Amino acid sequence: MLGFKSVKAALLISMLGFVGLTATTQASAACNLVSTKDSSPLTVKAIDTDTPEAKEFLATCKNPYTAKYAADPAAALAKDGGRHVMTYNGCTGCHGGNLGGLMAPSLVKNGGTGAFDTKWVYAKDSTDKGMFETISAGTPGVSGGLMPIWHAQQAEHVGDGLSTDDILKAIGYIRTVYKGDGEKDWMK
């Protein structure tokens, strides 16, 4: 017959196993990526060349660069930072050198007269996961606008395509220059 301590230990082990299984399921469920174009599943897998930050995001949908750049905004401006990714890959050609918008919407949201100068075109872009989905697979376009597919793992991507890490760095940089109120779901 089992003693009280044995039963207690077995119960504790069972509970820990259940909690671990639940946490794993929740982490997977929290990072189901979907296309901004049509809400279809968006497949982006961790690959050998991914950085630890990219692998962390794909497991948790939390962008490590957002916190890193919030703590050290100069890191976003470094040669390997998010600003470089955006200027080198042509993002600023549409969104503007200061991200205030040109033929594409403002990403700083500091007011202005345009329809999307104070709010996100896609509400989901107020989260890092949502913005990753928008950049990775493009957009259907609003008022005739269209954002192309940028992630290298997606068919029909632009040019050489961007890695998961590059997209995350760009998002982290966008968060450092954002001037709008509210909508800072990425800080949660």
| Domain annotation covers residue 26 | no
Please give the biggest Cα pair distance in the chain: 77
| Domain annotation covers residue 107 | yes
Highest mean pLDDT of the ranges 17-31, 50-64, 153-167: 50-64
**Residue 113 buriedness (CB in 10 A; 0-12 / 13-18 / 19+):** exposed
- pLDDT of the residue at 7: 47
- Asked whether residue 75 carries a pLDDT value surpassing 90, the answer given is yes
DSSP state of 149: P
- pLDDT of the residue at 183: 59
Which region among 9-18, 101-110, 111-120, 178-187 has the lowest average model confidence (pLDDT)?
9-18
Of the CA atoms within 13 Å of residue 10, those in its CB half-sphere come to 6
Residue 147 maps to which CATH number?
1.10.760.10
Among all chains, which residue has been given the structure tokens 């957002």?
A: 66
Print the domain residue range for 173.
31-187
| Domain annotation covers residue 114 | yes
- pLDDT of the residue at 4: 56
| Domain annotation covers residue 25 | no
| Domain annotation covers residue 8 | no
The pLDDT-based confidence of 159 (bands split at 50, 70, 90) is: confident
| Domain annotation covers residue 39 | yes
Tally of domains in the chain: 1
Residues 61, 32: Cα–Cα separation, whole Å:
9
| Domain annotation covers residue 163 | yes
Summarize pLDDT for 41-62 with one digit per residue, the tens.
Answer: 999 988 999 999 999 999 999 9
Residue 110 near residue 101 (C-beta atoms within 8 A): no
| Domain annotation covers residue 22 | no
